[in-house]
Amino acid sequence: MRIGIGYDVHRLTEGRQLILGGVEIASEKGLLGHSDADVLLHAICDALLGAAALGDIGRHFPDTSQEFKDINSLVLMERTGQLIKEQGHTVVNIDSTIIAQRPKLAPYIDEMVINIARVLNISPGQVNIKATTTEGLGWEGSEAGIAAQAVVLLKNG
């Protein structure tokens, strides 16, 4: 068994679509980044790569590469899943948290879980997503950005 953790953060900005867990979220602002800036998927990818001792998302999908400009992060997650599978690992479970003051994310979480499970070819019961605010504290609370954390458990074989 192998455990990995991941963390990601992106600044909120006008003129971008907010995408979390591969789901378009109704919001006045979106996340700024080289790809679609999906902090949830990026945190999970980092956790998966870390558990498999394969480095981090920037090593495999650098933000200096035009190949990944505006890419859908579900594609990055699919490729990450292939990398861990090539190393002989399978996902036992994923637990993640999105930290955002707004918008309310509860209506979107089931769709996020389904997206992640589908792309990684696992059961939705192996994926957990929570959302929390910082009760107005810090940069998340002032709505400057959104962060996500993830923990994964992999098994060999």
CATH of the domain at 30: 3.30.1330.50
Taking only Cα atoms into account, the Rg of the chain, rounded to an integer number of angstroms, comes to: 15
If one counts the domains in the chain, the total is: 1
Closest of 2, 40, 6 to residue 116, by C-alpha: 40
13 is in an annotated binding site: no
Full-model pTM: 0.95
36 is in an annotated binding site: no
Q: Cα–Cα distance between 97 and 99 in angstroms, integer?
A: 6
**pLDDT tens per residue across span 68-122:** 787 899 999 999 999 999 999 999 999 999 999 999 999 999 999 999 999 999 9
Q: Cα–Cα distance between 38 and 21 in angstroms, integer?
A: 7
64 is in an annotated binding site: no
Cβ-contact 147, 101 below 8 angstroms? no
89 is in an annotated binding site: no
**pLDDT tens per residue across span 14-43:** 999 999 999 999 999 999 999 899 999 999
Which residues span the domain enclosing 20? 2-156
132 is in an annotated binding site: yes
